[in-house]
Structure 1
Amino acid sequence: MSRTLFTALRLRTALRAICACVALVAAVPGRPALAQDKDVESIEQFLERKARWNELIGADFRVEGRLAVINPPQLRFKRCELEFRMAPELPALPRSTIVAEVRGGLALEDGKLYFKVTEAKARGNDLATLAAQRTRIDTSRAEDWHRLADWAASRGAFYQDPELVNKAAEFHELGLMTEYRKLRGDDRDGLLELAKRAGQFGAEDTVAWRFIHEACRLDFAKLRREARPDDSVLVNRILRMLPGANDPLKPEDAELRRTYLADPQTTYVAADAAVRKKLHRALYAQVLLARIERDAIPSGRNGDAIATRILQQLPELDDVAAEYRRREVDYLSSRVTQLTRDELTKLATRFQVQQRGDDGRRVQQEWLKAQEAARRAEGPRGLMELGDDYIAMLNDERTAAALYQEAYDKNPQAPEPADWFQSRDYVLTNGHWTPQSEAPVEPESRVDLAIREGRVLTGMTGREVRAALGNRPSSVVRQAAKGGVSELWIYRPQAMVVELTRTGSDADAKVKRTYSLAEQ
């Protein structure tokens, strides 16, 4: 070979190597790399340039990755079919090697590419490498956490390694929390941006939820300070971005809700994913309840309507709804004298539903008392109708009887009061109607005592004689007497004769004297 030709060949080889190096530098992908791998590319990065390998023959490479085969002098990396051939003078890697780093270049043999290894060394496994790198980063810099997480995520995806993928999510979360601690306390846009990035990083759902929850609470606090707040955007965000917000809480969650309302942020941060879903509902319920309560009239006048809306939209808040119903009942009670009879009846029923029967009876008494003046002005009819109301509402017969007595006193000839009393076994004594069981007992008369004892007294009528002796006389002898008629009633069983006389002015014959039959 001539000197000129040899020189030309050397120049061409040198130029080819220079071009390869330039291409190598220009073509390094933007894959995440650790600080220790500044001049080393991963098998994944190496494979991404597979289409240009023929152009890169002669270039110097440093490559690292997980080993699949160690069969000296041959090496094979996982996910890469290219043969890595170690130079004969290189010591073999330990068969326990998991990750290796090699240096060398691409070469051709019989038209087939292979990688000629000039240097080789074992490296720590990926988790050990990650742990070591964690000790070297500035933990106050979010970008350091994210760079470490990006490497773990890329590596985990390439090798389908769930441990690395989980580590990536963990480090991204630490990076996000580092950013979170630097936010202003009222930066809701910053919180929503962190939530968005948490989703992009593949962090646990709870990470994004935390940022969204805090942003929603900031919005809610702002709305509460406004005179005419529009909470539609907030409500939609809660329903769209916080799972569980549309699921009513169960009765056993009432204490959790109370704890959350007392200290929302602390309670939320301490909760796991399942509990956070319940807290999302507690937040939604708080926002929606505030919307409903804005329409509540302070006096309680529309408490029932407010309660109905609460139960329709937030059925778990039945205790709050009951309180609003109580407020309306109390409002109506405060103006009971202005109610119609139908309104009063409905109010009393609502007291019964609320298990406040004594209060219901009290307002009915107050209402009835307020009616008395107007009913008295209507005369006996008004008094009787008021008495009927006392019976119907309170089953108060004593007060009703007093009103009917007043009606009777005003018009004793009217049949209605007497009929009412008689239907209830009242008796009239000296112009006053009294229950028969309470009527005064008159002392027994002399005649009644004699009748009860079977004796005949002078002055008794014939009817009283028969009552005393228990039967009719055995025989009767009538004879005319001066100014009237004389009758002799003969009672043979008693051996008695009873003489009765009747003058023209007497309606009944009366006993004049008695004597024994033997005296006859």
Structure 2
Amino acid sequence: MNKQNRHCKWLFSLMALVLCQNVVSAADRSIQHFVSEREQWKRLIGVPQTLEGRLSTFSSKSLRFRNCPIPFHFVGNIPKLDSSFKNVEVTGELARENGRLLFNVKSLKKLPSDIEHFVIEETKIDRSKPREWYALADWAKQRATFYDDKELTQKALSAYKMGINTEYRQLLVKQPEALLKLADRAQQYQLDPLLYDTFRHEALVLERQNLSKQKDSDLKPLLTSILKYFPTVKTPQKKDVPKERNQYLKNQVEVFQQADQQTRLRLIRWFYSQLILEGILKNLEAGGSNGFEISDQIAKKLPERTDLVTQYQNEQLEFDFNRIDELPRQYVLDLSEEFLRRKNKVKAEQTLTNWIDFRRKKLDVSDADGRVRLARDMIDLTNDKAGATKVLLEAWELNPKSSEAANLLGRLGFMLQGKKWLNPKEVMEFRNDPIRKAIRNGTVTIGMNRNQIKKVLGAPNQISRSISGGEINELWIYGETGNQDLIIALARKKRAQEFKVIRIKNARVPQESIKEAAKPAE
């Protein structure tokens, strides 16, 4: 059995060798090869040769091959030519007549056209051997170039492609280097860019997979390779396409192979962007504490990824929110403003509230100034007037001389009365008291005491006093005797009580009337 297998392998190798020799031999006899050796023509005069090529024109006595400058004259028994003759093979030799070169044809044979020859040779080759495809393609390309034959050019390209694809399928282990060589060959053969881009893309994906297995791998060489083969990756997309991007990143090779050229430009951008992102995120600190720095880099290098810009900004905002007790005042204010800018009013308010609550808990029991500063922020930042009042009253108790505490309490509607701070309601009642209104207006009213009268009118010109039924009465007279302007009657029932105004008379009256007014009222 082994002997039989070895015999078969030897036979196949021999057939392949013969086939390749036939192709080369045909190329050596071709008119294009003959024309390329024209500098040797003089040496070949009289040397028998066999040439083949495409007919250009013919007559009963001669013919011309396409793209060959010398005529071929018939000197032997030549079959009659007609329009069915496309390619012919002639045997003869170069000669010189009348000072010019020509070729004397002794025999002529009709050959298949180049397309027919290609089809025939294609059926003979071992389709599993890339070299045989390349040999056939080389022959077709040389002929197509010499004769400017577009149809044969396409045949050559198809053979090159078959050879490339066969070689790709036979790769036992796909390695980046092998795929890149295959891509270079496909480009050299001027095949469809989609083909060699496919190989290069797969090579880059494999390289990425290899790097992912290494600790602290350097992505820069890979990024350089991507830019080399796909220079458009540096151009950002107009917008992110999450569905397409995610599908591609899950199955890069297959999705890329199935995509058209325009889609591939986006896909390779997603590949490049992912590598750039991985490089940026290597600098992301725990908890996202430098999220804004990361998002700035993303916005600069990957502007289409607005989702990531927002994501890492939010991470830092959340990180800062959770460490509010460590932040200085201006940072807290900026943080709250940032939440407001993002239309998160609840978070903005909570930021300030949490910060103030933390400061309040940290206050020293004897820190009056700290309480004043805290109260000011409670008023200005959170509008917590009730809380600020409590803190300010604590500050006043600690330092009654604090003008800042007094000013802030005044802003809140409080008023110091003696040693007591009246709240806004008490202040309103205090200010609406008839006696105090009268004092402010410079008049005397019922219920005033002595000091209040003096505060408004000063000391009286005369005072008369009488006692009746345990009640002491006084008359305060303003004006000279016989020309009194005002008489104020005061009374006190008990010694412990103070005198209060019970009647007021504005008149000029005789002295007797004054005495009468001093009598107690019944």
TM-score normalized with structure 2 length: 0.71
Deviations 1:68-113 (A, max 9, x none): 2233333211110121234585443333644344344434444543
Alignment-derived partner of residue 165 in structure 1: 153
**2:335 maps to which of 326, 347, 352:** 347
Confirm or deny: 8 A CA contact 2:86 2:113 kept in the other structure. yes
- Give the SS at the match of 1:244: helix
Q: How does 1:367-406 map to 2 (within 5 A)?
A: 367-375=355-363, 377-406=365-394
Q: Does 1:272 align with 2:265?
A: no
Confirm or deny: 8 A CA contact 1:480 1:486 kept in the other structure. no
CA distance in 2, matches of 1:184, 1:215: 15
Distance 1:49 1:484, change over 3 A: closer
- Give the SS at the match of 1:245: helix
Confirm or deny: 8 A CA contact 1:243 1:277 kept in the other structure. no
- Which of 330-339 and 353-362 deviates more? 353-362
Amino acid at match of 1:389: D
Residue 38 of structure 1 deviates from its aligned partner by 4.7
Confirm or deny: 8 A CA contact 1:67 1:98 kept in the other structure. yes
**1:66 maps to which of 51, 54, 72:** 54
**1:314 maps to which of 302, 308, 324:** 302
Confirm or deny: 8 A CA contact 1:248 1:315 kept in the other structure. yes
CA distance in 2, matches of 1:219, 1:507: 104
Alignment-derived partner of residue 104 in structure 2: 116
Alignment-derived partner of residue 299 in structure 1: 287
Confirm or deny: 8 A CA contact 2:76 2:105 kept in the other structure. no
Alignment-derived partner of residue 179 in structure 2: 191
CA distance in 1, matches of 2:476, 2:358: 69
Q: Does 1:242 align with 2:235?
A: no
Residue 371 of structure 1 deviates from its aligned partner by 1.0
Q: Does 1:502 align with 2:484?
A: no
CA distance in 2, matches of 1:215, 1:396: 65
Residue 254 of structure 1 deviates from its aligned partner by 5.1
- Give the SS at the match of 2:381: helix
Amino acid at match of 1:337: D
Q: Does 1:230 align with 2:218?
A: yes
Deviations 1:250-302 (A, max 9, x none): 21555443332222111211223343333333322222322222232333233
CA distance in 1, matches of 2:22, 2:341: 72
CA distance in 1, matches of 2:193, 2:125: 26
CA distance in 2, matches of 1:36, 1:286: 50
Amino acid at match of 1:53: W
Confirm or deny: 8 A CA contact 2:73 2:105 kept in the other structure. yes
Distance 1:238 1:422, change over 3 A: same
Residue 384 of structure 1 deviates from its aligned partner by 2.3
CA distance in 2, matches of 1:333, 1:398: 25
Q: Does 1:330 align with 2:323?
A: no
Unaligned runs of 5+ in 2: 1-19, 436-444, 449-463, 478-486, 493-498, 506-522
CA distance in 2, matches of 1:264, 1:96: 53
CA distance in 2, matches of 1:440, 1:349: 37
Confirm or deny: 8 A CA contact 1:192 1:215 kept in the other structure. yes
Distance 1:60 1:396, change over 3 A: farther
Alignment-derived partner of residue 131 in structure 2: 143
Q: Does 1:133 align with 2:121?
A: yes
**Amino-acid identity (%):** 28
Amino acid at match of 2:125: I
CA distance in 1, matches of 2:476, 2:31: 154
CA distance in 2, matches of 1:82, 1:196: 40
Residue 317 of structure 1 deviates from its aligned partner by 3.2
Confirm or deny: 8 A CA contact 1:169 1:203 kept in the other structure. yes
Amino acid at match of 1:508: V
Q: How does 1:26-45 map to 2 (within 5 A)?
A: 35=23, 38=26, 41-45=29-33
Alignment-derived partner of residue 495 in structure 1: none
Alignment-derived partner of residue 66 in structure 2: 78
Amino acid at match of 1:339: L
CA distance in 2, matches of 1:415, 1:39: 110
- Give the SS at the match of 1:222: helix
Confirm or deny: 8 A CA contact 2:70 2:102 kept in the other structure. yes
Confirm or deny: 8 A CA contact 2:324 2:355 kept in the other structure. yes
Residue 369 of structure 1 deviates from its aligned partner by 1.0
Deviations 1:177-224 (A, max 9, x none): 211122234422211221232233233333332222222222221222
- Give the SS at the match of 1:251: coil
Residue 44 of structure 1 deviates from its aligned partner by 0.4
Alpha-carbon RMSD: 4.0
CA distance in 2, matches of 1:163, 1:435: 101
Residue 140 of structure 1 deviates from its aligned partner by 1.7
Confirm or deny: 8 A CA contact 1:189 1:215 kept in the other structure. yes
Q: How many residues align?
A: 440
Q: How does 1:420-459 map to 2 (within 5 A)?
A: 420-425=408-413, 434=423
Amino acid at match of 1:333: F
- Give the SS at the match of 1:64: strand
Q: How does 1:440-479 map to 2 (within 5 A)?
A: 461=446
- Which of 415-424 and 288-297 deviates more? 415-424
Residue 120 of structure 1 deviates from its aligned partner by 4.0
Residue 57 of structure 1 deviates from its aligned partner by 4.4
CA distance in 2, matches of 1:386, 1:147: 89
Confirm or deny: 8 A CA contact 1:40 1:64 kept in the other structure. no
Q: How does 1:501-520 map to 2 (within 5 A)?
A: 502=489, 508-510=501-503
Amino acid at match of 1:316: E
Residue 162 of structure 1 deviates from its aligned partner by 3.9
CA distance in 1, matches of 2:490, 2:344: 74
Distance 1:111 1:501, change over 3 A: closer
CA distance in 1, matches of 2:106, 2:288: 89
